[in-house]
Structure 1
């Protein structure tokens, strides 16, 4: 089995260096593909010079590709994966980085469940100085869990199964290609959209280990998307997940109008925290009257804090 770490970058050379170092520092050997969205900050010169200084055998591990024009994040992900040779793809944005044992731990879990097509882990949220400010929650007891394909979309819909951002996730190259790759038309949630489609082709694994580091900063892509746009995209993602929930769970899930109201409440509260009162009033509207939406909001908050177990998911402990 072989991993390819696909690093996407655009004009963030200083951060990219950290991401590259984290890929080369893995305790198991991997291929490293750097997909550059036409940077103009010297990224090309740096990477090519970096590669020349590597021993010949190590040079073969590093592939660099640069778009001829700026094409966007999703298109750059697709371009990088088209060049990767690994059976499994580990996603990595330039402002994030991996723990040295990330791939090793994923390989151990994957080896025990050959039916898995997607794997995720806990991530540490760090600031620009790499100091931890928060951490994604543990998913129940144990070290790692296998989630049958039939359970995945139910877990995603009710936010009991948070695959998370690219730095947390790996998938098989085969499932990625079958799913059609990342949707270049989406602005935001292109990663979640991909996980939704990949999960149609096999089972999932979640590792209760912190193996990834996500930088939270003003330059992050998600910080540049307006709240209303983020709400609309979230609703679209939930609609896609809702349609794929296995029949056995249909009687357990709320009506989609309640899910829509829950999302409105969530983003309204985000607007309130940001002291954007006009946005709060616009986003909240009549959703504040939905008791089901408030219950979903509370359940989601508890899940994010690790206080709510993944009830009804047939988890199997893989590693103790």
Structure 2
């Protein structure tokens, strides 16, 4: 099993240095691809000056956006597994090693996720993602992944947390540039999950930088709601037939999402927008039930997620 770490970057050389250093410091050496979206800050000169045969530099012919740069970097990589990394994030030295150990116990896995420490611009810890599922390592069968994503009990996390098989990524069509910066990663996990099982490592192996006014904050609440609905619409037909009789109707899921985002709007003091988003979902008992269920599951997500026991979705690894 060969891993390639694909680092996407654009005019953030000081941050890129840290990302590259963390990639080269892995206890399990691997290829490091720097995919540059036409930076003008000396990025190319710096990367080429490293003189490390493990580092591959690729530069887009024109500025193409984050999603296209991810796709280009993966295409250049020679590893059969890809660890994407944005230039402002970085890895613990044992990240790739721990992922490889987990994947080795589940050869049919196509995607792997770990936990992240979230830091501020100064590198100080702000918060941590919450462990999900039982044990240090657990697995979800392919036939159960989309049901779990639809019902929000299978969380893959942001790109810094995830690794995936290159061939599954290629088959899935890669990242959708139409979603650039707005759930393009989650859309990719949905598509990749068609091609194998999922492995989860409940260890903090990555560091994600939180920025004031981060990328997702650039989109309006309405746009974020619309994209959230789009992702659910893409997941829905992929849910395995064994769940068909138990999943909510798509319209009920949309109503739940409208309630969720209306509450986000209320917390931000956007009362008129929140009311507009909530109507007429606020009159749906099914939507309120889903909201309560998701809220409850997030509070207990350090325990095994609530999926039908007869399906035995979750498997704890022997460690």
When the two structures are superposed, what TM-score results if normalisation uses the length of structure 2?
A: 0.94
Q: Secondary structure at the match of 2:244?
A: helix
The aligned residue for residue 96 of structure 2 is 103
Matched, 1:288 2:282: yes
Answer whether contact 1:138 1:306 (CA < 8 A) is retained: no
The aligned residue for residue 269 of structure 1 is 263
Answer whether contact 1:303 1:309 (CA < 8 A) is retained: no
Answer whether contact 1:140 1:306 (CA < 8 A) is retained: no
Q: CA deviation at 1:297?
A: 1.9
Matched, 1:173 2:166: yes
Matched, 1:130 2:123: yes
The aligned residue for residue 222 of structure 1 is 216
Question: For residues 208 and 4 of structure 2, what CA distance do their matches in structure 1 show?
Answer: 19
Answer whether contact 1:123 1:211 (CA < 8 A) is retained: yes
Matched, 1:29 2:29: yes
Q: CA deviation at 1:150?
A: 0.4
Answer whether contact 2:120 2:210 (CA < 8 A) is retained: yes
The aligned residue for residue 84 of structure 1 is 77
Matched, 1:46 2:51: no
Q: Secondary structure at the match of 1:92?
A: strand
Q: CA deviation at 1:45?
A: 2.2
Q: CA deviation at 1:305?
A: 3.5
Q: Secondary structure at the match of 1:27?
A: coil
Q: CA deviation at 1:295?
A: 2.3
Answer whether contact 1:137 1:303 (CA < 8 A) is retained: no
Answer whether contact 2:133 2:314 (CA < 8 A) is retained: no
CA gap of 1:18–1:302, structure 2 versus 1, over 3 A, is farther
Q: CA deviation at 1:212?
A: 1.4
CA gap of 1:306–1:35, structure 2 versus 1, over 3 A, is farther
Match of 2:156 among 154, 158, 163: 163
When the two structures are superposed, what TM-score results if normalisation uses the length of structure 1?
A: 0.93
Question: For residues 203 and 224 of structure 2, what CA distance do their matches in structure 1 show?
Answer: 29
Question: For residues 165 and 216 of structure 1, what CA distance do their matches in structure 2 show?
Answer: 12
Q: How does 1:225-304 map to 2 (within 5 A)?
A: 225-304=219-298
The aligned residue for residue 317 of structure 1 is 316
Q: CA deviation at 1:46?
A: 2.1
Q: CA deviation at 1:219?
A: 5.4
Q: CA deviation at 1:314?
A: 1.6
The aligned residue for residue 139 of structure 2 is 146
The aligned residue for residue 212 of structure 1 is 206
CA gap of 1:319–1:105, structure 2 versus 1, over 3 A, is farther
What is the count of residue pairs matched by the alignment? 313
- Listed as ranges, the gaps of 5+ residues in structure 2 are none
CA RMSD of aligned residues (A): 1.5
Answer whether contact 1:119 1:171 (CA < 8 A) is retained: yes
- Listed as ranges, the gaps of 5+ residues in structure 1 are 53-58
Answer whether contact 1:119 1:204 (CA < 8 A) is retained: yes
Question: For residues 306 and 40 of structure 1, what CA distance do their matches in structure 2 show?
Answer: 46
CA gap of 1:300–1:132, structure 2 versus 1, over 3 A, is farther
Question: For residues 32 and 292 of structure 1, what CA distance do their matches in structure 2 show?
Answer: 47
Answer whether contact 2:114 2:204 (CA < 8 A) is retained: yes
Bigger Cα displacement from structure 2, 163-172 vs 182-191: 182-191
What does the per-residue CA deviation read over 1:105-153, in whole Å, with 9 as the maximum and x for residues that have no partner?
0000111111001001112222212222222221122111111110000
Bigger Cα displacement from structure 2, 280-289 vs 145-154: 280-289
Q: CA deviation at 1:66?
A: 1.3
CA gap of 1:152–1:285, structure 2 versus 1, over 3 A, is same
The aligned residue for residue 7 of structure 2 is 7
